[in-house]
Structure 1
Amino acid sequence: MRKRWQAGVVAIAALGLGIGAVVHTQGASAASFPSATGTVKLTASKPVSGTLDGGLKRYQGSGALGSESQDEGQDPLFVLADGATLKNVIIGSPAADGVHCLGSCTISNVWWENVGEDAATFKGGSSARYAVTGGGAKSADDKVFQHNGGGTVTISGFQVSDFGKLYRSCGNCKTQYKRAVVVKNVTVTAPGKSLVGINTNYGDTATLSGITIVGDSKKKISICDRFTGNKTGAEPTKTGSGADGTYCKYTSANLTYK
């Protein structure tokens, strides 16, 4: 049974802006998710080119997209073309394989209430740029963001709780890239396993700043894990954790524990 996160406060959609204005309560485990303005059920992946503004409706899978499993190879709810933007969307359960970005994309104010296989997978080429701004995710048994293609993922103003990994550079894809991730102004609420995982043998880098970690007084959540990746499909080898100034770029000053 997937663990459920209990909201402490209510998020209100900002009038006229179409953006969730999240109200924070001092001492709460995490800020609340916005309330859905309606529900849309998807039985097949929805392609997005240009901009799709969901108006904070809840999108969830049905039929062929009705699985809550962690099985690999599921279809996503949304497929974003190169340059597309998905914004003001709540992804409910079942979430299947969330969002796929085929090239550069922007994911703005998107909320995953219960992550399926992955929240979003980035599949563009070596020059692709993916931006995740605002929003949040909870109840991710494994990964939230999976980086299979190349380029740079920037995650900012995001919140995550009850998760396995916030970001993972693919450790065993058939085609590998030098990848980069930037994580800034993100709130992390325990339990969780790790923020980022990267492959040093391909030259990956992770740059972190403004990270607030809630409910992890024993510092069990790993900040940056380093691996030796491969192209064979084998399980990658973990080689270390923590800041090293070369691949995992951050200092203790970039982390705040509450």
Structure 2
Amino acid sequence: MVSRSSAPTPHRKRRGRLWLIGAVTAGLVSAAVAGGVALATDDPPSAASSTTEAPVRTLASSPAEAPARTLAFPEATGEQAVAETQQVSGTFDGELQRFVGTGALGGGDQEEGQDPIFELADGAVLKNVILGAPAADGVHCLGSCTLDNVFWEDVGEDAATFLGESEDATYLVTGGGATKAEDKVFQFNGNGTLTVRGFEVSDFGKLARTCGNCSEQFQRDIVLEDVTATAPGSELAGINSNLGDTARLSNITIVGDAEREIVPCQKFEGVTEGEPTELGSDADGTNCVFAESDITFQ
């Protein structure tokens, strides 16, 4: 079921460097997708049972500058202003409506401690949702969750934060896309495994980062499959190799990064106080697991 609550969800994050948001000269490519009936159940389906198909994802080239591209987002079927965090259990189908924060959720900057637009209970599914601007702290998953065909038009503090405490927790992001993330898109503070599949990102700091300085640390795993990342960007996966974190990358396409500045996998020394230390970024087969053939530059 879906209910409302203004209770904050505390979590700790490491700030990354800010990225300038480049001017978008290409027109926005629309992809009309038929939405299902909105529902909330007390018996959430498994991630494998989701049947929503993501819209065809294409890149539109700018006629002025060939490297400049924009992501293809679906056309919103409507818009809702959200003043209080929406609690989701079971499945919530947004029918490709745009949800925009207002009032206490009207922040779109990097201020710490913002509340999310949606907070998902363990096992919940959020699908066919567009988060507009401002989007506060996006989506929080309190346990295992699925984000299916979810789009962020302008990432606020983070797009989604994963907070489950069980080592068996699984977080699946399938389809969708995000742009304009000054720091992190997906903040992985909890335990378990995060899989991002069939996703597009542009103009970002880090696509997925395990928490560098949470007061309680875990060994975490990130899987990136069939991901397209368009420059500018900093890192696809950031992990704490000293804590045993892993990142497995396959079928990755990096667009518009002639200097190859986007790092596929960056290792850190994670801490519980202070700031983490940056380590290497080589594919070592243990923590950063990918082959040269898994990364394609266009």
- TM norm structure 2: 0.82
Equivalent residue for 2:263? 222
Runs of 4+ that moved beyond 4 A: 1-8, 15-20, 25-28
1:102 matches 2:142: yes
C-alpha displacement of 1:205: 0.2
User: What count of residue pairs does the alignment treat as equivalent?
Assistant: 257
User: Identity of paired residues, percent?
Assistant: 55
Q: Which moved more, 1:142-151 or 1:21-30?
A: 21-30
Separation in structure 2 between the aligned mates of residue 146 and residue 256 of structure 1, nearest angstrom: 25
Separation in structure 2 between the aligned mates of residue 217 and residue 135 of structure 1, nearest angstrom: 25
Structural mapping, 1:49-88, within 5 Å? 49-88=89-128
Equivalent residue for 1:132? 173
Equivalent residue for 2:196? 155
* Aligned pair partner of 1:119 in 159, 182, 186: 159
Amino acid at match of 1:11: A
1:11 matches 2:31: yes
How large is the RMSD of aligned CA atoms in angstroms? 1.8
Separation in structure 2 between the aligned mates of residue 166 and residue 71 of structure 1, nearest angstrom: 19
Equivalent residue for 1:37? 77
Unaligned runs of 5+ in 2: 1-19, 37-50, 63-68
* Aligned pair partner of 1:183 in 206, 218, 224: 224
Structural mapping, 1:238-249, within 5 Å? 238-249=278-289
Higher share in strand: 1
Q: Residue 110 of structure 1 contacts residue 136 of structure 1 at CA under 8 Å; is this kept in 2?
A: yes
Q: Residue 184 of structure 2 contacts residue 208 of structure 2 at CA under 8 Å; is this kept in 1?
A: yes
Of structures 1 and 2, the one with the larger relative CO (CA 8 A, separation 6+) is 2
Q: Which moved more, 1:55-64 or 1:7-16?
A: 7-16
Matched position secondary structure for 2:213: coil
C-alpha displacement of 1:9: 2.1
Separation in structure 1 between the aligned mates of residue 141 and residue 85 of structure 2, nearest angstrom: 12
Matched position secondary structure for 1:111: strand
Matched position secondary structure for 1:168: strand
Unaligned runs of 5+ in 1: none
* Aligned pair partner of 1:48 in 82, 85, 88: 88
* Aligned pair partner of 1:231 in 272, 277, 281: 272
Amino acid at match of 1:194: E
- TM norm structure 1: 0.95
Equivalent residue for 2:234? 193
Separation in structure 1 between the aligned mates of residue 52 and residue 244 of structure 2, nearest angstrom: 39
